[in-house]
Amino acid sequence: MNLSTLQQQFGAKRPQSAAFFQQAKDVIAGGVNGNLRFYHPFPITFDKAKDAWLYDLDGQAYVDYLLSYGALLLGHGHPVVQKALQNVWENQGTTSFGATHPMELEMAKELVELYPSFDEIRFTNSGLEATLFAMRLAMAYTGKTHLAKFEGHYHGAHDHVLVSVNPKIDTSGEHTAPDSVADSLGIPDYYLQHTIVLPFNDWDACEKILTEKKDQLAAVILEPMQSGYIAADIEFMSSLRELCTTLGIILIFDEVKTGFRITLGGAQEYYGVQPDLTALGKVLGGGFPIGLVGGKKHLLENCSPLHSQKKEDVVFHSGTFNGNPISLAAGLATIRYLKEPGKFDSLVQRTHKLRDGIEALAQQYSVPMTTVGVGTIFNILATEAEIRNYRDLGKNRNDLRLALDYLLMDNGVYSKPLNRFSMSDSHGPAEIKATLEAFEKSFAALGQLVTV
């Protein structure tokens, strides 16, 4: 058995998803609304979800660890979210005011309390919009034109940061001074020239580049945990904070993945480091589209219409659905539920229980895999090497991990091939048991592949 056999078997077992994909690819480019959603031979089509479970067109059930890329921290259709939505219909009577309403202030107050680095906030509709707006605020404030980002870090699909997210390692320059490589066709050269790429967790190299480029650099943006699971060293993080202050560079944490998932206060609470600006998204909307920029008053105030009478002195920010009551109600219900005593801790404990179970089974079946992560996110890596940044991931055996993913799907566990695992409040003992049984069967089959 090899990977292509597994993929063929996967396809043969899902005739309804196959037929759907045949139709979809004629009218939706590539059959998917997002390139990351595709995998071979076709992605599974789901038509129903409940709690921790996904159901596909062919009638198979899966314990869901994709959870809409981590957004559903309570799982699918959680009662507190359902109730919050009903309340919006009953009390507000609309899905969007396009104007100020009281829930905006309620959410702002919750966030300022949970994230001490926030003096002020602004809502957007996605993580992409949040990182873009945070960068614009930094450029306006500093009057500088360049941005530094880390190799392998994703900040949404906009031109300035769709750079060196997933570059080919052997043609991307030295590890200590990576080239800026476009991740898409259609990125104007301007953005490659104005985006400096840094090696994550390599302090000496970062210090050198940032110091050399300080006069051009408006901001450094990073995922404090690369891809949500590769942690920055504590010392690296505090050194970065200190150097940015010294050099007059704005530090932006992109906590779209890590917000509410590492701790409720995000990776910044875990590290005890305050960035100047933060981008949030995903969990914040309780399953509905949202994004947010939060941070220091002297930065956010630049977008205030009270800042100046002259509109050319103000950073522009707008969005039809910004702060809509549906996303805010679902998000508020999620956050308030998780703030109840013991709720978040219990979720982290269940995540550890699952990870311990997976690791014990990997050992039992001699599969060279381990789990990596903090809080409610983890990934499964097929390497014994220490993974501290994007280039280290070259040591991971993607072929083995991919084979595991196809076996897991056949045994009723879904994270999407090569994706990280996110937990939800709906993942209880029954789901953990079902998941570990699926891992046991999958590792038993994988054990034969490892020796090939």
The residues annotated as belonging to the active site are 154, 254, 282
Residue of 218, 256, 277, 393 interacting with ligand PLP (CB under 6 A): 256
- Please, what's the b/e burial string for 280-295 (b: 16 or more CB within 10 A of its CB; e: otherwise)? bbbbbbbbbbbbbbbb
Query: Kindly report the CA angle at 51 between 47 and 53, in degrees rounded to 5?
Result: 50
Overall residue count recorded for the chain in this entry? 452
- With tokens 């891809």, the residue in question is 227
Least separation in angstroms between residue 149's CB and ligand PLP is 11
Q: How far is CA 301 from CA 83, 213, 306, in A?
A: 35, 26, 8
Number of chain residues interacting with ligand PLP (CB under 6 A)? 14
Least separation in angstroms between residue 256's CB and ligand PLP is 4
101: Cβ–Cβ under 8 A, 6 or more apart, which residues?
Answer: 92, 323, 325
Q: Which long-range contacts (CB under 8 A, 24 or more apart) does 365-370 make?
A: 365/440, 365/443, 365/444, 365/446, 365/447, 366/447, 366/450, 367/400, 367/404, 367/443, 367/446, 367/447, 367/450, 368/397, 368/400, 368/450, 369/400, 369/401, 369/404
Q: Rule CB under 6 A: which of 282-311 touch ligand PLP?
A: 291
Q: Which is nearer to ligand PLP, 127 or 375 (CB)?
A: 127
**If DSSP codes are grouped into helix, strand and coil, which group holds residue 307?**
coil
Q: Which is nearer to ligand PLP, 64 or 254 (CB)?
A: 254
Q: Which is nearer to ligand PLP, 126 or 302 (CB)?
A: 126
Least separation in angstroms between residue 110's CB and ligand PLP is 20
Residue of 120, 151, 202, 254 interacting with ligand PLP (CB under 6 A): 254
Query: Which single residue brings its beta carbon nearest to ligand PLP?
Result: 127
φ, ψ of residue 47 to 5 degrees: the values are -120, 0
Q: Give burial (CB, 10 Å; 0-12/13-18/19+) of 334.
A: buried
Q: Residue 69 interacts with ligand PLP (CB under 6 A)?
A: yes
Q: Which is nearer to ligand PLP, 135 or 335 (CB)?
A: 135
Taking CB under 6 A as the rule, which mask of x and - marks residues 112-141 in contact with ligand PLP?
A: --------------xxx--x----------
Least separation in angstroms between residue 266's CB and ligand PLP is 11
Give the C-alpha separation, 186 to 222, whole Å.
23
Least separation in angstroms between residue 155's CB and ligand PLP is 5
Residue of 257, 296, 401, 420 interacting with ligand PLP (CB under 6 A): 257
Least separation in angstroms between residue 86's CB and ligand PLP is 25
CA-nearest of 305, 297, 303 to 274 is 297
Q: Which is nearer to ligand PLP, 249 or 252 (CB)?
A: 252
The residue range among 9-17, 150-158, 177-185, 187-195 that interacts with ligand PLP, by the rule CB under 6 A, is 150-158
Query: Kindly report the CA angle at 276 between 271 and 280, in degrees rounded to 5?
Result: 75
Q: Locate 249 and state its tokens.
A: 């560079």
Q: Rule CB under 6 A: which of 4-43 touch ligand PLP?
A: none
Q: Which is nearer to ligand PLP, 130 or 446 (CB)?
A: 130
The residue range among 55-63, 249-257, 375-383, 436-444 that interacts with ligand PLP, by the rule CB under 6 A, is 249-257
Give the C-alpha separation, 302 to 198, whole Å.
28
Q: Rule CB under 6 A: which of 342-361 touch ligand PLP?
A: none
Residue of 167, 199, 275, 281 interacting with ligand PLP (CB under 6 A): 281
Q: Residue 223 interacts with ligand PLP (CB under 6 A)?
A: yes
List interacting residues with ligand PLP (CB under 6 A): 69, 126-128, 131, 154-156, 223, 254, 256-257, 281, 291
